[in-house]
Amino acid sequence: WRQYGSPKVGVPGLNVVFPVNLTKALSTREIPFGHIENPDVSHDLPALKWFNVSGQSAERDYSLALLNDCKYGHNFTDGKLRLNLLRSSYDPDPVTEQGQHTVRFSLYPYAGEFDPAKVTRMAFDFNMPLTADQAPTQCGDLAKSFTLLSVGPENVMVSGFKQAENGKGVVLRLYETANQEVDALIRCGFSFKRAYLCDLYERPLKELATDGDAIRLQLQAGELASLYIE
């Protein structure tokens, strides 16, 4: 990118644009731990990993999600879905965006109404693809397949998994993505004594129901919850 902005020429930019053949279309964007319906404006709107458009074609519902791994400026107006790739502002930095850029984005079309749980998971998969490493053969007690942690149903997402600050357990942070009340089920591939809801200081608040390797938790619509697993 070698375009320079100035008070005389303005602010050069580069967008990728996708015409969308849908009527009664509405757009929605991802925000931290949730999503929000967009206002009808012509300027860019900030989004995280995805920006979704849903509407009708031939009296059937269709949707289109634009996934990205490093850009935040999105817009949908006049039937066109846009992603802002580069913008050469000149103040306070006179050489903004100069040089070589690599941008990944993907279109995810699907039949039906807007499905935030499905789109959120697709965007996470796009941003954090599965990687595989080959290791030398070793002796050990683990089975050929092993799952450290599994969380369901689809509209329950993990946002963090870390060692507790006191070193005596782990902390798991979850959030609900479809704006619906849900009974979450967490299965752990490690042994534990008990599990609690905790606050951001990792202080236990309420003990949760457990059954073997499973922890059960009811999440409210759009709720963010932290679990202390001891």
- Per-residue pLDDT, 40: 87
pLDDT tens-digit profile of 134-193?
888 888 887 878 889 999 999 999 999 999 999 999 999 999 999 999 999 999 999 999
- Per-residue pLDDT, 213: 93
Rg (CA), the chain: 22
pTM above 0.85, yes or no: yes
- Per-residue pLDDT, 164: 95
- Per-residue pLDDT, 134: 87
**Per-residue confidence band for 85, with pLDDT thresholds at 50, 70 and 90:** very high
Cα–Cα dist 28/52, whole Å: 5
Cα–Cα dist 53/75, whole Å: 10
Cα–Cα dist 78/178, whole Å: 27
Residue 26 dihedral angles phi and psi, to the nearest 5°: -125, 145
Q: Give yes or no for residue 61 having a pLDDT over 90.
A: yes
Q: Which of 143, 227, 128 is nearest to 186 (CA)?
A: 227
Q: Give yes or no for residue 28 having a pLDDT over 90.
A: yes
Q: Give yes or no for residue 103 having a pLDDT over 90.
A: yes
> Bridge partners of 23?
56
CB 185 within 8 A of CB 138: no
pLDDT tens-digit profile of 197-223?
999 999 999 999 999 999 999 999 999
